[in-house]
Amino acid sequence: MYPGATCALHHQNPWELLVATILSAQCTDKRVNEVTPGLFAKYPTPQDFASVRPEVLANDIRSTGFFNNKAKSLVGAARKIISDFGGEVPKTMEEMLSIPGAARKTANVVLGTAYGIASGVVVDTHVQRITLRLDLTRHTDPKKIEQDLMKVIPKDKWILFSHQIILHGRARCVARKPKCAECLISPVCYAADKTI
């Protein structure tokens, strides 16, 4: 259904994707994509983010919600990348997890989308909801969901799978009113609240 699915966050390089992914927590990709052009024009490099005071940056990202914590994470991430990784976003899960604001979801987004490295499966709210509906997991904890998905989805599909499920969650399997009658995977969906 979604063969060309890709990351919805607009970015030009791994650093911009990392920033956008940190901003996307508890925020829509649409909102992040509205904020980042001005943000990257004002702070084009990790060095620019590293030198700004978090309270100043917070005002630039206010509309994404949780702006004080996100600002601290972004400044901390920039400083960590400069001090420990020579200004380049690292390419391993272990290194990514050492960056402020980067948990597994963020690390998987950046590693998969920016570098083509399948280190795991991105589990956002769409993936969490839809994989439960499809009986691919019985867990609600993102780490356990990711472990389940890594067992049943071939590794060469991990990156694309997440993008496809996220698109499906926006287009058909919407949280409040799924469009089951229009869904091509309805025959393999086991959700109790199917709308047919």
124 is catalytic: yes
Closest CA to 119 of 163, 85, 156: 156
Give the separation between CA 20 and CA 157, rounded to whole angstroms: 23
Residue among 105, 143, 148, 194 flagged as catalytic:
105
Residue among 29, 70, 80, 124 flagged as catalytic:
124
C-beta contacts of 185-192 below 8 A and 24+ residues apart: 185/1, 185/134, 188/134, 189/133, 189/134, 190/133, 190/134, 190/135, 191/132, 191/133
156 is catalytic: no
Residue whose tokens read 């994707």: 17
Q: How far is CA 7 from CA 48, 94, 112, 113, 182, in A?
A: 25, 22, 10, 7, 23
Give the CA diameter of the chain: 55
Give the separation between CA 159 and CA 116, rounded to whole angstroms: 8
The angle that helices 29-42 and 14-23 make with each other, rounded to 10 degrees, is 130
Q: What residues are annotated to the active site?
A: 105, 124
